[in-house]
Copies of this chain bind each other. A is one copy, B any other.
Amino acid sequence: MRPSGRALDQMREIVIEPGFTKHAEGSVLIRCGDTHVLCTASVEERVPPFLRNSGQGWVTAEYGMLPRATNTRGRREAAAGKQSGRTQEIQRLIGRSLRAGIDQQALGERQITVDCDVLQADGGTRCASITGGWVALRLAVNALMKAGDVITDPMLDHVAAVSCGIYAGQPVLDLDYAEDSEAGTDGNFVMTGAGRMIELQASAEGATFGQDEFAELMRLAQKGVDELVAAQRAAVS
């Protein structure tokens, strides 16, 4: 049995609240159970040096966790003077994932920065960031299109992510913190609305895993992403 009482293939409740803050071109508060992430998408009419005068745009992401998003207070990274390896790894993943869902040529030579700040954490913050970040990005691109700055929709498909893992010997979908901290294998699956894969990461923690177990995790992930994409669709319609 899962600590939350959920079925093995049951997601936590997903609530997506668009327009949570007013300044960003796109903003959303996503709640995956008790994991709450504020995602904003900011459009800037400049690109990184390697893309200047290329006509191509760029999507990048930054990730942060408020010090008391977690059960015990973590050190504020700005005070520590650097972002942890974990933070950098996560924000690189979010950026790669969202870029896979956009046509950089159609976006035009501008940058969209997706900031994902975890207000409350209960496992799966990177996946919630990708799923919510896509919505913020979608809203920002909608604004660009409405303003006539972008003509052809550059968004190729939905991008959403979910974690799966082996908890108490059983493959389960959408790990919360209680499961995540005990899981023998933990994976993150980033997929498109059409079910194509963008990024797979699976990591043994304590026990190695076999190909059959991995196949089951992927099956669960597919189910979860379908539900997330439906929630995204509802939020931006």
Number of interface residues of A (CB under 8 A): 63
**Is there an interface contact between A200 and B200, defined as CB atoms closer than 8 Å?**
yes
Question: By DSSP majority rule, is chain A's interface helix, strand, loop, or mixed?
Answer: mixed
Known: A62-B79, A76-B64, A76-B115. A69 touches B23 (CB 8 A): yes
**Is there an interface contact between B203 and A96, defined as CB atoms closer than 8 Å?**
yes
Question: How many whole Å from A203's CB to the nearest CB in chain B?
Answer: 5
Question: How many whole Å from A35's CB to the nearest CB in chain B?
Answer: 11
- Among A4-12, A127-135, A209-217, A224-232, the one that faces the other chain is A209-217
* B residues near A22, Cβ cutoff 8 Å: 34, 120
* B residues near A200, Cβ cutoff 8 Å: 187, 200-203, 214
Interface status of A68 (Cβ within 8 A of chain B): yes
Interface status of A154 (Cβ within 8 A of chain B): no
- Which of A120, A187, A192 counts the most B-chain CB atoms under 10 A from its CB? A120
**Is there an interface contact between A85 and B96, defined as CB atoms closer than 8 Å?**
no
Interface status of A70 (Cβ within 8 A of chain B): yes
Pick the residue among B79, B201, B209 that contacts A196 (CB under 8 A): B209
- Which of A79, A92, A204, A209 counts the most B-chain CB atoms under 10 A from its CB? A204
Known: A68-B115, A76-B64, A83-B78. A100 touches B204 (CB 8 A): yes
Known: A23-B71, A38-B66, A204-B199. A85 touches B78 (CB 8 A): no
20 A-B residue pairings within 8 Å (CB atoms): A20-B119, A21-B36, A21-B68, A23-B121, A24-B68, A40-B66, A42-B73, A62-B79, A64-B66, A64-B78, A73-B113, A73-B115, A76-B115, A82-B82, A86-B92, A96-B203, A100-B204, A198-B204, A199-B201, A200-B200
Instruction: Pick the 5 closest A-B CB pairs, nearest first.
Output: A85-B88, A77-B78, A196-B208, A40-B68, A42-B73
Interface residues of A (CB under 8 A from B): 20-24, 27, 34, 36, 38, 40, 42, 44, 62, 64, 66-71, 73, 76-83, 85-89, 91-92, 96, 100, 113, 115, 117, 119-121, 187, 192, 196-206, 208-211, 214, 218
